Amino acid sequence: DTIFEDKLITKIFLFQFLSNFAFVTYIAFIKNIISQCLDNNCIKEVADNVSIIFITALAVRLITQVIVSIYLQHLKILEDTEGIEPGVERSPLEEQYSLQGYDAVLITLQDYAALVIQFGFTVLFVVAYPLGPTIACISAYIQIRVDGWKLCQAYQRPEPKSVEDIGVWQDMITLLSYL
């Protein structure tokens, strides 16, 4: 399982690294050689793109994690309460059963991937976008609150699983730090 997860994490990271950073890297390092940047200022264009990516990524994560979870939870409650007489209150265990199942591997991978990509934007393009670390801090705070809500309100109780460290994600963070 560990080898499979490590390979999956590597593939996810490589895909997201290329899809997220290729465009901004092109603007920062290659565009001025091939063609002209707007007002001969590639740094301004990089800062604009990084700010759009930061804010859009935060909004998309919030929408997918909160609104979609609430909608799916509502659908499951409707399905579970079908055929029950109106006015009958459900027990706390029945309410917990109505929540979505917690997929520890998938949800953890998505959360780590989002944080590592955000770290990459913060570290790699801080010169072009100095406000990036502040927005990353605010985004991380919001993400902590959303994750707490997910664990307490949106999902069934996760099964505890001990781990030694963050695994391959540490290698990805180290790679981004070197870059």
Contact 23, 49 (CB under 8 A): yes
Question: What tokens were used for 114?
Answer: 């989002």
Tokens of 110: 């998505």
82-93: average pLDDT: 77
Is the distance from CB of 165 to CB of 81 less than 8 angstroms?
no
Percent of the chain with pLDDT over 90: 5
Phi and psi at 87, nearest 5°, equal: 90, -10
pLDDT tens-digit map of 2-21: 788 888 888 988 998 888 88
Mean of pLDDT values over 62-68? 85
What's the CA gap between 66 and 81, in Å, rounded?
A: 22
**What is the pLDDT, as a whole number, of residue 43?**
82
Helix (H, G, I), strand (E, B) or coil at 131: coil
End-to-end Cα spacing for the chain: 30
Share of the chain above pLDDT 70, in %: 99
The separation between CA 64 and the C-alpha centre of its own chain, rounded to angstroms, equals: 10
Q: Give residue-wise pLDDT tens across range 119-143.
A: 998 898 888 888 889 988 998 898 8
pLDDT for the residue 4: 86
